[in-house]
Copies of this chain bind each other. A is one copy, B any other.
């Protein structure tokens, strides 16, 4: 699926074996660290866990966002691909939209601190926006548009704004039993409905 190896022509000079090995170790260590300490686990910790020096982490993943993207790429892809599927399988476009948003929320609340990072304007996370947005906004837009065309929801909200809103609502879910992000997201989606 990705553009690594077996590509069209020459531009893949095949990295050295130790480089590939270290990259994998870093991904594993980062995934583990993200679970225990959240997505802003100290760089040194991740490097130590992977048994490499800090320099190596920066060589493979220049910014923290690159590392996060690499770790979660599969899941984001899965979420993106679920959009059309749900649209085909659900009884109404609004149902599909609601279910898809559920997937998105699940993804965010299970990754400690990811929602925060996504909204943060910290330079380290800057590349996170483009990646998530490029991949998910079109999917969400299609769901919104289909539902709007079916006359189920209001028209004047674009996918970007909705995704950011949902992402924002997910901030701090998980840390606080009195706050249930899913319920608020559900209210937001309910607010979209035409009455």
Contacts and interface: CB of A to CB of B under 8 A. Distances in A.
B178 A160 contact: yes
B121 A172 contact: yes
Interface in A139-195: 157-158, 160-162, 164-165, 168-172, 175-176, 178-180, 183-184, 186-192, 195
Stoichiometry, copies per complex? 2
A119 interface: yes
A116 B117 CA distance: 11
Given A168-B171, A172-B164, A179-B164, A157 B195 contact: no
Give the size category of A's interface with B: 20 to 34
Contact of A191 (B168, B179, B188): B188
A158 B170 CA distance: 17
A175 B116 contact: no
A120 interface: yes
Nearest to A190: B191
A160 B179 contact: yes
B172 A168 contact: yes
B191 A187 contact: yes
11 contacts: A157-B183, A160-B178, A161-B180, A161-B183, A164-B172, A168-B170, A168-B171, A187-B192, A189-B191, A190-B190, A191-B191
Interface of A: 116, 119-121, 157-158, 160-162, 164-165, 168-172, 175-176, 178-180, 183-184, 186-192, 195
Given A160-B179, A165-B184, A188-B191, 10 more contacts: A119-B172, A157-B183, A157-B187, A160-B178, A161-B178, A161-B179, A164-B176, A168-B169, A186-B191, A187-B188
